[in-house]
Amino acid sequence: MTEEEIEKENAAITKAYKELLKVSYTTLTDDDKKLIRKAFEIALDGHKDQRRKSGEAYIFHPIAVAKIVAQEIGLDATSIAAALLHDVVEDSPDYEIADIENLFGKTVATIVDGLTKISSLSKEKDMDVSLQAENFRKMLLTLNDDVRVIIIKIADRLHNMQTMDSMRSDKQEKIASETLYIYAPLAHRIGLYNIKTKLEDLGLKYTDPDVYNDILFKIKESKEEQDLYIAQFSEVIKKSLDKENLAYTIKGRPKSIFSIRRKMLKQGVSFDEVYDKFAIRIIYASDPSTEKFLAWKIYSIVTDHFRPNPIRLRDWISSPKSTGYEALHITVMGPKGRWVEVQIRSERMNEIAEKGYAAHYKYKQEGEKEDSLEDWINKLQEALENPETNAVDFVEQFKLNLYSKEIFVFTPAGELKSLPKGATSLDFAFNIHTEVGMKTRGAKVNGKLVPLNHVLQSGDQVDILTSETAKPNPNWLDYATTARARSKIKSALREDKKRIAEEGKEILRRKLKQLKITVNEASINELVSFFKLKTSLDLFYRVGIGTIDNNMLKDYASSRSNALMSYIKSKISRKTTIKKEDIEKDEITTNYDSLVFGKEEEKLDYKLSSCCNPIPGDDVFGFLTVSEGIKVHKKTCPNALSLQSNYAYRIMQAKWIDSLQQEFSAQILITGIDHIGLVNDVTKVISENMHVNMKSISFESDGGLFSGKINVVVKNNTLLKKLLDKLKKINGIDKVTRQ
């Protein structure tokens, strides 16, 4: 670099640092500024020889992360200093954690140490379980040190997502998948809604760029019309709000690209058919004593002018979400017959919604009994520290619970408990206490006896009946939905199975001795194979509970010599067998050279995954399974995100190169208004397409509406899209989607 370029870069670094001090959410004292200045100088020294892939000086990254922590999350000077230092120990040989503690004290050192541990996790090699899921669990264990570790890590991930353009596309997709799988749900749980939204949108940008750019273009295209609509809506209620002498602001907020995409997929509609693409937010000033009263007053004013949808009222003021979120949400019929979501929040509620954890603590009242975040962390710690919990199962359940909508139910004493929507009476039992869950024998909801799989509704009062003799059984896994309950049930069942297996092992040893069979590794493996089991534990357990009895063991003993002869014969005819298997494989994969894998575009054997049924033209990837070779999935497959995030090392790039000789099945779903001759119109359109073969068709009609399923065989995605477009044009048809 020339002297002029160095001078220019130094000026940019100084400017970025000064801006960091200006945008801080909390008021910085002189001591705070000295702490941040010292952290900045150490970070500058620690990263002096480093540059990012884009070519810019590395110091811009910690400054940007600190700015997110200061402005968007609103944490204090200690957190800002830790954010500036978050990569120093890992990246610089000149600094150790002990140095950070000497310079900045115990708290900053603890946070930096936690962040350094998280960064080092990705360097561990562990092929037995999902690397990313196990790392995620270890990362969450740092909550025990200081929750700010996770919050700064989320800020770090956000900035990395914002600056990924210079990376390879496969690396972008891997990081984006991991972000959608882990970091966005975590930001959601901590109450960082703005950051969650940004992470989701950026995740979509790199996992499905075509869809992202298409929706982004359409949002920009409709912005002028949207702004005009918001102005019209606001004008109608402003006079009434002013008449009540309220201090307020009205903002229009477009829904995120990710949430619009989710609605399109969930409802099977196009962008234009998504009716609530934006929300209107009314933020009002109030004293703590009048806050709730004014929210309902504004609700009354809005519904005086616009008709509300009675099933779309969400009262999170009386019962805040477990994340601390408070607001009134109503959906009303606005001008031009459009449904509009209106969010009513006080300035305090708005800060909590935008800043999450930081604002929650700013407004926390003295003597407040329960802190939902601390309560959540305590429960999370319990699940994390259970060595029996499978990492992948844990992450999946964690993610499901985070994104679930909440219900609020009461204990017999009137205490309010929040659970994910869909939770059962058994989930409630484990929510109260593990011991209560373990001893559950029944439940009463609103005074009536209900089964353990009874799904609870908001407002239910639940009384759990316990017994000292009750204990979990395998059916309980079908009854429980929450991660906490399922984790405890699985642990109890495993312990029970181990105890029975120990007894079964001794029984088996005695019985095999009577049959004059030596008990060793070889004979145990033979038994596992003979009874078509997976492990020796399964074998011992089945002997223990009596499902493998004396007669069955005698059958095994008498078949040993026959099995040996069969094995020898199969070795002799191995070549013939292989040829037969090759033929069967060709039949399964049907001209498998139409897909190529990796950068070298190799032609490999594969199977098409049944969970998403990819066809030529679909964007796909290969996944190297343990027992079935390469399975091909669509990039939009429901399982894609989990596979790409958890098993990145098994993902293979794949693309179609020649699909002229292949045919693939697809199911088309049709709905619309029934009329005479409709089925004839549909079959005519399909039969006119020479390259489409209809396998089956079924229609149902109810109250003048019809729904139909058509199974067709096509050569590629382009032909299928053309067929869908033609079917959409038939009179009376409302929606045509591919299953």
Instruction: List, by residue number, the catalytic residues.
Output: 90-91
How many CA within 13 A on the CB side of residue 492? 20
- Report DSSP letters for 684-738, one per residue: HHHHH-TT-EEEEEEEEEETTEEEEEEEEEESSHHHHHHHHHHHHTSTTEEEEEE
- Least Cα distance to 207 among 730, 666, 700, 633 occurs for 633
Phi, psi at 382, each rounded to 5°:
-60, -45
Question: Reduced to 3 states, what is the DSSP secondary structure of residue 611?
Answer: coil
DSSP 503: H
DSSP 73: I
- Report DSSP letters for 280-316, one per residue: EEEEE---TTTHHHHHHHHHHHHHHHSEE-GGG-EET
Question: Reduced to 3 states, what is the DSSP secondary structure of residue 30?
Answer: helix
- Least Cα distance to 713 among 667, 645, 655, 659 occurs for 667
What is the end-to-end Cα distance of the chain in Å, rounded? Answer: 56
Q: Are 307 and 295 spatial neighbours (Cβ–Cβ below 8 Å)?
A: no
Beta-carbon count within 10 A of 198 CB: 20
Q: What b/e readout covers 609-636, taking b as 16+ CB neighbours within 10 angstroms?
A: beebbbbbbbebbbbbeeeeebbbbbbb
Rounded distance, CA 420 to CA 401, Å? Answer: 6
Q: Which residues contact 75 (CB under 8 A, 6 or more apart)?
A: 25, 26, 69, 148, 151, 357, 358
Both structure tokens of 155: 């800020």
> Angle at the Cα of 381 (from 376 to 382), degrees rounded to 5?
100
Rounded distance, CA 31 to CA 77, Å? Answer: 9
Rounded distance, CA 392 to CA 233, Å? Answer: 47
Question: Reduced to 3 states, what is the DSSP secondary structure of residue 464?
Answer: strand
Rounded distance, CA 96 to CA 161, Å? Answer: 28
Rounded distance, CA 169 to CA 46, Å? Answer: 30
Rounded distance, CA 100 to CA 94, Å? Answer: 11
- Least Cα distance to 280 among 326, 321, 322, 338 occurs for 338
Q: Which residues contact 184 (CB under 8 A, 6 or more apart)?
A: 196, 199, 200, 203
Residue position matching structure tokens 């562990």: 126
- The DSSP element (H or E) to which 598 belongs, if any, is none
Report residue 21 CA to chain centroid gap: 34
Question: Reduced to 3 states, what is the DSSP secondary structure of residue 19?
Answer: helix
Tell me the CA distances in angstroms from 105 to 110, 112, 148, one per residue in order.
9, 11, 16
